[in-house]
Amino acid sequence: MILEIDNLVKHFPVGGGFPFGGSKGEVKAVDGVSFGIGAGETFALVGESGCGKTTIAKLILLLEKPTAGRIVFDGTDLTNLNSRQVKEYRRNAQAVFQDPYSSLNPRMKIRDILAEPIRAHQTMGRKDLERRLDEVLEIVGLPERAKRNYPHEFSGGQRQRIAVARALTLNPKFIVLDEPISALDVSIRAQILNLLEDIQKELGLTYLIIAHDLALVEHVSTTVGVMYLGNLVEIGPTAQVFDDPQHPYTQALLAAVPRPDPKHGLSEQLATGEIASALNPPSGCKFHPRCPHVMDVCSQTYPELRRIGESRAAGCHLLEEQSA
Ligand code: SF4
């Protein structure tokens, strides 16, 4: 495993506000999540907005500190790094964010945008720097002359290519792709996806993709983790999870996606109701107020993840009933 997440917790305190202050409680954004990502794999985290997937990405990128738990990258525990180790980790772990319109500084030329990570991490002569910038631009399919321009002179797809090029400048092993195509025009999404897949094969990269678009996840990921209100409720090889989802929430998510196979058409299992709040989550199984299969035990006891076969797991009391 290149990345191991072990019982990761992130709670955000919520203040009582002016004038009395105090704490009103805490948002359990990530509430005990464990999974591993193998080298060369594309692991997808999916779930509705507020499920905790973006918080996990921020914790992995060291943009937030965990409340508890461990993140281990290539054998090193990220929760206790000194500043030299943080720098080394940042060389190896890069990110591409959703919106190439806001992630590129509009006042900087592409040369400076691409050179910024290199300058922050190493000393490189001018010629070597230019050569490296030309290399990454070529990898993402942009001409060398792009260095002389500003972000506003490029289309959305080209800007996302520049964001990918910037992520590649330090030769990382691992890239977090946070909704990498959702802000782009539909007509160019496939190009960016193909580019990311080609780069992964060529450079042997590992990806963690954060996405709400299940068609995208099915297309690009090897393993998928489904999150609901801070917990992982199902995990396994993407093809198996999409073909035969075990958790009622995964079933509901997939049922809501129009797919050509009639086996996967809209079903009565579509979850109804609003997603509950991570500030005051339901007791027991957090999905129980929306679940079409809810039983008495569901509101009382949290269903731990149970292994299903060799490589899958899901957390639902129905699975315990079936194996009893
Ligand atoms: Fe539904 Fe109960 Fe399973 Fe939760 S544990 S998903 S409420 S059946």
* pLDDT per position as a tens digit, 163-200: 999 999 999 999 999 998 888 888 898 999 999 999 99
Q: In this predicted model, what pLDDT tens digit does every residue of 14-60 receive, in sequence order?
A: 876 555 555 668 899 999 999 999 999 999 999 988 899 999 999 99
Site to substitute for ligand 1 among 228, 251, 285, most atoms within 8 A of C-beta: 285
C-beta of 284 in contact with ligand 1 (< 6 A): no
* Residues 31, 7: Cα–Cα separation, whole Å: 8
Q: Is 61 in the pocket of ligand 1 (CB under 6 A)?
A: no
Distance 121 CA to ligand 1 centre (A): 48
d(CA 273, CA 21): 32
Tell which atom from ligand 1 comes closest to the C-alpha of 303.
5
- On the 0-12 / 13-18 / 19+ scale of CB atoms within 10 A, 249 is buried
Domains contained in the chain, number = 1
Residue nearest ligand 1's atom 7 by CA: 288
271 in ligand 1 pocket by Cβ < 6 Å? no
Ligand 1 within 6 A of 110 CB?
no
d(CA 89, CA 116): 16
CATH number of the domain bearing residue 278: 3.40.50.300
| Closest residue by CA, ligand 1 atom 3 | 316
Q: Is the CB of 288 under 6 A from ligand 1?
A: yes
Residue 114's pLDDT is 96
Could you tell me the distance, in angstroms and rounded to a whole number, from the CA of residue 142 to the centre of ligand 1?
A: 49
Judged against a pLDDT cut of 70, whether residue 259 lies above it is answered with no
Average pLDDT taken over every residue of the chain: 89
pTM, rounded to two decimals: 0.91
316 Cβ closer than 6 Å to some ligand 1 atom:
yes
Return the closest-CA partner of residue 293 out of 252, 236, 265.
Answer: 252
Q: Is the CB of 257 under 6 A from ligand 1?
A: no
State pLDDT tens for residues 52-81.
999 999 999 999 999 999 999 999 999 889
Domain that holds residue 21: 3-323
From 11-25, 204-218, 265-279, the region with the lowest mean pLDDT: 265-279
Q: What is the mean pLDDT of residues 283-308?
A: 95
